A and B are shown apart, each in its own frame.
Chain A
Amino acid sequence: MKTLRLINPELEFLRYRRRLELAGYIAALLFMVLLGRFFWLQVLQYDRYQSMAENNRIALVPAPPPRGVIYDRNGAVLAQNYSAYTLEITPDKAGDLEETLARLAELVEITPGDLRRFRRLLGESKGFESVAVRSRLSEEEVARFAVNRYRFPGVEVRARLFRQYPYSDTLAHVVGYIGRINQQDKDQLQADGQDANYRGTDHIGKAGVEASYEHWLHGRTGVERVETDSGGRAVRVLSRDPPTSGSNIHLHLDARLQQVAAEVFGDYRGALVALDPRNGGVLALMSKPGFDPNLFIDGIDAANWKELNDAFERPLINRALRGVYPPGSTIKPFMALAGLELGLRQPGDSIVDPGYFSLPGSRHRYRDWKKDGHGIVDLKKSVVVSCDTYYYRLANQMGIENMHRFLGQFGFGERSGVDLDGELAGLLPSPAWKKRRFRQPWWPGETVIAGIGQGYTLATPMQLAVATMALANDGVVYRPMLLRAWQDAETGRMHYAAPQVVGRIPLKSRHVAVVKQAMVEVTLPGGTAAVAGAGAAYRFAGKTGTAQVIGIKQGARYDEKRIAAHHRDHALFIAFAPADAPKIAVAVMVENGGHGSSTAAPIARKVIDYWLLGKLPGAPVAAAPAQEAPVDEESEDTGPVLEDAPATTPAEEGAAHAG
């Protein structure tokens, strides 16, 4: 450390040169390393990086297909697409959203409802996705925005396809609606392996035919190869595999028939199902009141939803499939047929109806709706006048097991399998069912009232229609189908749906003929639906029925005038026509309609008149339930008057009879 070193400049310079050269060589060596690296990347690994750059550059952008159109049997459009301009904001690009919205509002009208919906959609979407603020811009608004576009980064006008339901509430429960794809839908699509096909699709069928035939209506998503920048913005389209639009759906349903039905229902609530007995095609399927399905497409806002969901009338419920009611007297033709088929009755056998029936060894009286009884009653008359006593006795003789087995063949207690979601199965009781449900034995009295369609028995209007159809066509149970055909979007070919036979009930034609004749006489003078049947230009077969809403106290009498409108009985009517070669089978349920004869039967008549004769109805069948409907004593067909308080729910009923 202490040594001083004298410097020799020559040596010093030589050492400097050596070290500089060394540094130079090292530099050259390092450059060779770089060159080697470049050679590796650009020659040896070229293919790999080349394809990575391509993948970077090229994005596959889904091109969503236009949705299939839904037609009725005559080609009327029930659900269609139309193109309209929407104003959309991509939040990531828009900067200050509030300010943008405020400035936009100066150019185009943005309602508080639009804003609410925008904020809701905003919460559901990612920042780089565009969210609609306004739809259906007018040409003028589009032009005004176009001029000011430069002031609004991240805001665009887009042409989009919208779904629209021209028949609005009339067909809401049939056609249903589409709605925005939610997480649940996404999970389902993934489970079905359909998620790829739904890239770029915002909406999916949520209810009705829109949901049932989603797989045909949606179509195949196409793809555009788009050159993108790192922000994912499309720079230009390189190639295009166009989408295949969804297949059109053609229904058996006749929109005009449905409109007629809606019209004749007037202000009543209820349901109507009309089937073609020759193939099970659903000609009309109505649930009143309806709702406007157009509200649901982009997500219904809270106020509208609350209004629809909380309404006393329950417009969102499809009563035809989800309303379960005691079939009441409409069960009688089927019971009569059971009596004949099981050999318990001959057409000529008569009973004497004292106005009530008692089980052997019991003083308990099951009363007929007609206090003094119908006198001498044979099978035909039992249907025509809707004699309760006849069926109390028949049911008791038949036993619940036989009844369950026979009626089950007509589809009671089972879903009809109609091509709509949410159908309920109703209830066809049996001792086994009761044991399961209540852990209680079956009581003979329960069989007695089951004979007139009361007690536990519950059916949907659809089930009544299916049973009526099976009766009308001598025992063929078709699966009710809305779908008549689907039109392949690629080939344009129509694929007709073949009728699906669920079961063939072995029935003797002479037995069927007796019951049908009885049902025809129901609509003739002396029958319970004589008024509704008056002047029919065809053989009109029907059966009235009444479903109780509230129980009547022992000894009390049902007095329509003293009962609040929403406690009145539900009116039922099943019908088919022409009786000899049925072309239509109808089940009508009018909530709080009072009597099947006065409200439900005329509705069926007008619907069938239209279907068979093309006759348009003049006016609704009756005034709204709030007003008084005239009651014809002759055609009165109220429900049975039970001395034990009956109830509409099976649970209460079971309890009442168990005691």
Chain B
Amino acid sequence: MLVKRLLKRGVAHLDPPLAGLLGLLLLLSLATVYSASGGDPDKVLAHLTNMGVALTALFLASHIPPQRLMQFALPAYAVGLLLLVAVELVGDVVNGAQRWLNLGVTRIQPSELMRLAVPLMIAWYLHHKQEILRPLDHAVAIGLLLVPVALIIHQPDLGTALLIATSGFFVIYLGGLSWRVLAGAAALLVLAAPFAWHLLHGYQRQRILTMLDPSSDPLGAGYHIIQSTIAVGSGGVAGKGWMNGTQTHLDFLPERTTDFIFAVYSEEFGLIGNFLLLLLYGAIIFRGLVLAAGAPTLFGRLMSASLVLTFFIYAFVNMGMVSGILPVVGVPLPLVSYGGTSMVTVLFGFGIVMSVATHKKLVKT
């Protein structure tokens, strides 16, 4: 019944330019995953399935009115926070990090939920306080951000924590936090950096050191970076051609369908391909920001812009990591990497962006 209704309403809530650009990116992803997996039909089929699920998520999200979404903010955030605390207390340790919560039936990673829940919560909070915004409200917003981030850092999952912190920061920044506070926070961050270094876990420090000098440990921590940099560099201007990347097909690239898929793409399509990819990402981000700017409510503006900018951060961090200018953090290349969770989360986010943009005619503030 729901499906029928949705189909009747059709594509009214989709933004055609954004949908078209995302579609292009997905096609490119399909080609790259095909190559990266060595044409493994199982993997390609699974990838297609993930895309189907993620597109459905986008379609559904685009039909959720922003008001409805706002109602989810507090419960989603509260549940997410509870789960994080639970992880802290009884989580499973995988690869030395306590990130997973075993529900008996399945294990979940609550930090994934928080990727959407944190910006949602802060946007919702600032939206509600928009009539009379006091400095204290910004402090609360910052608190809403820092608590889950601190819990995730402690797991430890620095990459996710930083990304969630960024998405929350975008909301607060766009919500009008004064420049003086921003500047103060930045100064504090710089001052705190040496102390933070001591708080980092050994492997985290190693990753940063490795980024600075990958050759210090060529078969250990530096291996990923060295091999991916070789892949990117050897791609040259025109690339080695689709399915012809030697780094990829001879198994030198680690994680080549997931976090390091950009190396595959870059090796096979070269600088020209990279330029086109950046252009495509840029277009998506531009369109997303345009839609965010046109949103009728503060919540919509903050939420949409935060989602789009976070999308940008994901893309930038991933490509920066693969090309060796950022430390290795477990971030997939959004909408290109193989992997369902990330794809669903990102497209669901774009669904929200479209919903916010298309519901303005229907719902007046």
Chain A interface (Cβ < 8 Å from any Cβ of B): 1, 3-7, 12, 15-17, 19-20, 23-24, 27-28, 30-31, 33-35, 37-39, 41-43, 45-46, 48-50, 52-54, 56-57, 227-231, 235
Tell whether, in the assembled complex, residue A56 and residue B247 are in contact, meaning their CB atoms are under 8 Å apart.
Answer: yes
**Please, which residue of chain A has its CB at the minimum distance from the CB of B305?**
A20
A41 to B229, CA, bound (A): 8
**Closest CB of chain A to B294's CB: distance in Å?**
10
Judge if B214 is at the interface, Cβ distance under 8 Å.
Answer: no
- The answer to whether residues A24 and B251 also contact, given A6-B132, A48-B233 and a CB cut-off of 8 A, is no
Judge if B71 is at the interface, Cβ distance under 8 Å.
Answer: no
- The answer to whether residues A4 and B134 also contact, given A20-B174, A53-B246, A231-B251 and a CB cut-off of 8 A, is yes
Tell whether, in the assembled complex, residue A20 and residue B234 are in contact, meaning their CB atoms are under 8 Å apart.
Answer: no
Interface residues of B in 130-184 (CB under 8 A from A): 130-136, 170, 173-174, 176
Tell whether, in the assembled complex, residue A43 and residue B271 are in contact, meaning their CB atoms are under 8 Å apart.
Answer: yes
Task: Give the residues in chain A near B236, CB-CB below 8 Å.
Answer: 42-43, 46, 50
Task: Give the residues in chain A near B275, CB-CB below 8 Å.
Answer: 35, 38
A544 to B173, CA, bound (A): 113
Tell whether, in the assembled complex, residue B325 and residue A37 are in contact, meaning their CB atoms are under 8 Å apart.
Answer: yes
Task: Give the residues in chain B near A17, CB-CB below 8 Å.
Answer: 293
Judge if B121 is at the interface, Cβ distance under 8 Å.
Answer: no
Closest 4 CB pairs of A and B: A49-B233, A53-B234, A229-B251, A41-B233
Task: Kindly list 16 other residue pairs between chains A and B, CB separation below 8 angstroms, not including A28-B282, A42-B270, A53-B234.
Answer: A1-B135, A4-B132, A16-B301, A19-B174, A23-B173, A23-B305, A31-B316, A34-B325, A38-B271, A38-B275, A41-B323, A49-B233, A50-B234, A50-B236, A53-B231, A57-B247
Tell whether, in the assembled complex, residue A27 and residue B309 are in contact, meaning their CB atoms are under 8 Å apart.
Answer: yes
Tell whether, in the assembled complex, residue B250 and residue A38 are in contact, meaning their CB atoms are under 8 Å apart.
Answer: no
Segment touching A, from B87-95, B109-117, B284-292: B284-292
19 residue pairs from A and B, CB less than 8 Å apart: A12-B298, A15-B176, A23-B170, A31-B278, A31-B281, A35-B278, A37-B323, A38-B266, A39-B271, A41-B323, A43-B237, A46-B233, A46-B234, A48-B233, A57-B246, A57-B247, A57-B250, A57-B252, A229-B251
Tell whether, in the assembled complex, residue A20 and residue B289 are in contact, meaning their CB atoms are under 8 Å apart.
Answer: yes
Tell whether, in the assembled complex, residue B229 and residue A34 are in contact, meaning their CB atoms are under 8 Å apart.
Answer: no
- The answer to whether residues A19 and B173 also contact, given A4-B134, A49-B234 and a CB cut-off of 8 A, is yes
**Please, which residue of chain B has its CB at the minimum distance from the CB of A45?**
B233
Judge if B312 is at the interface, Cβ distance under 8 Å.
Answer: yes
Task: Give the residues in chain A near B351, CB-CB below 8 Å.
Answer: none
Chain B interface (Cβ < 8 Å from any Cβ of A): 130-136, 170, 173-174, 176, 227, 229-237, 246-247, 250-252, 266, 270-271, 274-275, 278, 281-282, 285-286, 289, 292-293, 298, 301, 305, 309, 312, 316, 319-320, 323-325
- The answer to whether residues A50 and B316 also contact, given A20-B305, A27-B285, A38-B271 and a CB cut-off of 8 A, is no
**Closest CB of chain A to B208's CB: distance in Å?**
18
A4 to B271, CA, bound (A): 53
Task: Give the residues in chain A near B135, CB-CB below 8 Å.
Answer: 1
Tell whether, in the assembled complex, residue B233 and residue A7 are in contact, meaning their CB atoms are under 8 Å apart.
Answer: no
- The answer to whether residues A56 and B309 also contact, given A35-B274, A38-B271 and a CB cut-off of 8 A, is no
**Closest CB of chain A to B291's CB: distance in Å?**
11
A235 to B246, CA, bound (A): 12
- The answer to whether residues A53 and B247 also contact, given A6-B132, A43-B271 and a CB cut-off of 8 A, is yes
- The answer to whether residues A7 and B234 also contact, given A28-B282, A31-B282, A38-B271 and a CB cut-off of 8 A, is no
**Please, which residue of chain B has its CB at the minimum distance from the CB of A235?**
B250
A231 to B252, CA, bound (A): 8
A227 to B252, CA, bound (A): 12
**Closest CB of chain A to B184's CB: distance in Å?**
15
Tell whether, in the assembled complex, residue B247 and residue A5 are in contact, meaning their CB atoms are under 8 Å apart.
Answer: no
Task: Give the residues in chain A near B285, CB-CB below 8 Å.
Answer: 24, 27
Tell whether, in the assembled complex, residue B289 and residue A24 are in contact, meaning their CB atoms are under 8 Å apart.
Answer: yes
A50 to B133, CA, bound (A): 57
**Closest CB of chain B to A363's CB: distance in Å?**
86
Tell whether, in the assembled complex, residue A42 and residue B274 are in contact, meaning their CB atoms are under 8 Å apart.
Answer: yes
Tell whether, in the assembled complex, residue B250 and residue A229 are in contact, meaning their CB atoms are under 8 Å apart.
Answer: yes
Task: Give the residues in chain A near B266, CB-CB below 8 Å.
Answer: 38, 42
A39 to B266, CA, bound (A): 12
Task: Give the residues in chain A near B319, CB-CB below 8 Å.
Answer: 34
A35 to B325, CA, bound (A): 12
Task: Give the residues in chain A near B320, CB-CB below 8 Å.
Answer: 34, 37
Tell whether, in the assembled complex, residue A12 and residue B130 are in contact, meaning their CB atoms are under 8 Å apart.
Answer: yes
Tell whether, in the assembled complex, residue A5 and residue B250 are in contact, meaning their CB atoms are under 8 Å apart.
Answer: no
Tell whether, in the assembled complex, residue B271 and residue A230 are in contact, meaning their CB atoms are under 8 Å apart.
Answer: no
Partner of A7, one of B132, B246, B305: B132
A12 to B246, CA, bound (A): 53
Tell whether, in the assembled complex, residue A34 and residue B246 are in contact, meaning their CB atoms are under 8 Å apart.
Answer: no
**Closest CB of chain B to A291's CB: distance in Å?**
46
- The answer to whether residues A53 and B230 also contact, given A23-B305, A31-B278 and a CB cut-off of 8 A, is yes
A53 to B244, CA, bound (A): 13
Tell whether, in the assembled complex, residue A42 and residue B271 are in contact, meaning their CB atoms are under 8 Å apart.
Answer: yes
**Closest CB of chain B to A26's CB: distance in Å?**
9
Partner of A41, one of B232, B250, B289: B232
**Closest CB of chain A to B234's CB: distance in Å?**
4
- The answer to whether residues A16 and B176 also contact, given A4-B132, A31-B281 and a CB cut-off of 8 A, is yes
Task: Give the residues in chain B near A24, CB-CB below 8 Å.
Answer: 285-286, 289
A3 to B324, CA, bound (A): 47
**Please, which residue of chain B has its CB at the minimum distance from the CB of A27?**
B312
A57 to B250, CA, bound (A): 7
**Please, which residue of chain B has its CB at the minimum distance from the CB of A35?**
B278
Tell whether, in the assembled complex, residue B229 and residue A49 are in contact, meaning their CB atoms are under 8 Å apart.
Answer: yes
**Please, which residue of chain B has its CB at the minimum distance from the CB of A233?**
B251
Tell whether, in the assembled complex, residue B246 and residue A42 are in contact, meaning their CB atoms are under 8 Å apart.
Answer: no
A349 to B139, CA, bound (A): 131
A54 to B173, CA, bound (A): 47
Task: Give the residues in chain A near B323, CB-CB below 8 Å.
Answer: 34, 37-38, 41
